[in-house]
Amino acid sequence: MVTTNNQDCHVEIDVQQKRPRNEIACGDVFLSDIFREEGRTILVLSDGIGHGIKASVLAQLTATMALKYARFHTKPEISSRIIMEALPKSSDGKESYATFTIIELEADGKVRIINYDNPPVLIIRNGKPFQPKEYELEVRGHENVGKLLRCREFVARKEDRLVFLTDGVVQSGLGGNNRYPMGWGIDNVNSFALSQVERMPTISAAKLSRKIINQAAMNDNFEMKDDTTSGVIYFREPRKFMLITGPPFYKIKDYDFADRIKSFNGKKIICGGTTAEIIARELNMNVEIEHAPKTRNTLPPSAKMEGFEMVTEGILTLGKVEEILDNYNSDTRLQDSPPEKVVKLLLQHDSIEIILGTRINWAHQDPEQPIELELRKFVVKRIMKILANKFFKHVEIEYL
């Protein structure tokens, strides 16, 4: 997720994937990158021919090159020729093949969509399909005669959504005995997405993309016949969140520290018992320990404090949060342990502010402890990097 220069608009991005049963690699590849110095976000979805390892390699190569050339503003018709020439030929001399969709998001809200043989991107505005003018570009090179890129450009507005897919969604149900023996079809997919937005006008990108891919799985009786990807981009009001960990370096700053947190307009949590005690003392509040049922979880229980979503232990919890975020994928199901609750809250919000106190907690100055547990800054920076690069969050940190 990424925030544009327009501070009252946030871009939420989510992608869900499923692969055929018994396949160890997905033949659809989604890559993205944020270029903060230019205020650009580039997303690439590629679908390799067939499925399995070969398809995955073709899609990975295509997506990687497309992302690289888009980064350097190479003309699409030129970069497409280079990509197609680079794809390895099969043993029978036939051309290897991978489709791709490139979506470029600018800081001023401008969106450019470049599509080569993937299903057309659905743009939803005011609950209806929005059709900006489309133009075609011919792929350069005599060996690419007849190959066309379909391009659209427009300026996004708040509450716009983009739905991008691979053929696995559109062709789900093909050849089955269900209601879509000829495949779900792009018109039905679009109608389904529009109906979900009509029923739930604030539906998140994650929920909408998951609903689309789950319906595709149902069409295939939960045994996908092809690699299947559903992605959604949602321009909306940002949800603000604050994570506080560690007390301020100077004790004299304790009251200012607590008052700064009290005035934050959004949801907030505290990771650290000492930090919670300082805030509770300065704001005249109580910290109530929650006595959760015994589980295999070795972390201390969370606590309650008025005005905060939750209070947890500090560095151990943050270390686990970093691990969960790093391994998170579309199949991850979060439970109710303190670290998993923290992850849920982080993923539900867009603009995340981290207040990192730099006073040393002597309880963790054990030379036998691994560095991730000893250095709070190191763990928090890892969390920030994952949130920004993997989940497109806008993350800022303030050291106190």
For the chain, what are the domain ranges?
Answer: 2-236, 240-399
What is the mean predicted confidence (pLDDT) over 364-384? 67
Buried b (16+ CB within 10 A) or exposed e, 278-298: bbbebeebebeeeeeeeeeee
- d(Cα 177, Cα 159) in Å, to the nearest integer? 37
What's residue 369's pLDDT?
45
Is pLDDT of 231 > 80?
yes
- 101 contacts 115 by C-beta, under 8 angstroms: yes
pTM: 0.77
Alpha helices (runs of H) in 265-390, residue ranges in sequence order: 273-283, 315-327, 338-348, 371-374, 376-389
pLDDT in tens, 111-147: 999 999 999 999 999 999 999 999 999 888 777 888 8
Output helix, strand, coil percentages for the chain, rounded to the nearest 5.
Answer: 35, 25, 40
What's residue 9's pLDDT?
80
Tell me if the domain spanning 2-236 has CATH number 3.40.50.300: no
- d(Cα 186, Cα 251) in Å, to the nearest integer? 61
- d(Cα 35, Cα 166) in Å, to the nearest integer? 25
Residue 99 buriedness (CB in 10 A; 0-12 / 13-18 / 19+) = buried
Measured in residues, the chain has a length of 400
- d(Cα 279, Cα 243) in Å, to the nearest integer? 13
Residue 239 buriedness (CB in 10 A; 0-12 / 13-18 / 19+) = middle
